[in-house]
Structure 1
């Protein structure tokens, strides 16, 4: 299976989580590409069997619970594009000390719906990734293993 992981990060934690998923996908025999959000093109989505979208949750223009600001550009790049029944999965990092814990997930789920994609699994929401990286990396690994098995 050809898996595209599209990610944006501020501190490096989302990239780290995306790399954990990539390692799992490759270990299970899948071809993967790890692509920064601003470099992703509609053709990349067409070519992939599964698209994993990874983002931190952030305050954007004074509004808490938003995905990484790169997704604003991605929404414009992909405006009018559809990927009917294309499989997607969403990985979001956040901080439960804020009122909109992993609020980016809601925005990304809506984007997948706008693209006419299909969520292949439940969204993984990780709290304070770097404060407990080994445990959180294990959560990503388990999620990616289940996703790799179910997406075949």
Structure 2
């Protein structure tokens, strides 16, 4: 049982509702923790898989809005690995091998320290931050700055 967004059904908006603040403001980590704790307390639901809030950038309109405006970047999503499995998930970034390597290193460092499994899905592109790329069924996705 996981909460996973699809465009206007935004996980980031749910986090904002629980925290009472904008996404990635003080209170975001606590709100994600509360949501994940509620998922684990579900009764009459078979828990399989990650059983946590999912935050895939290319599937969440609120995350894309914040990313396209430069309000959040990969470093923000990486920090969320401390409280949920989905840090760098469906993140569209400039195809810079060194930057992507650093994103993966940071993500894995948190996962190893916390002894937890994580998922990483990075979509490299030649487009620039703020541009949009067509990503199949996901539509037009804004490139996030690094």
Which category of TM-score, normalised to the shorter sequence, fits these structures? 0.3 to 0.5
Quick check: which one's strand share is greater? Answer: 1
Structure number with bigger Rg = 2
Q: TM-score, normalised by structure 2?
A: 0.42
TM-score after normalising by structure 1: 0.40
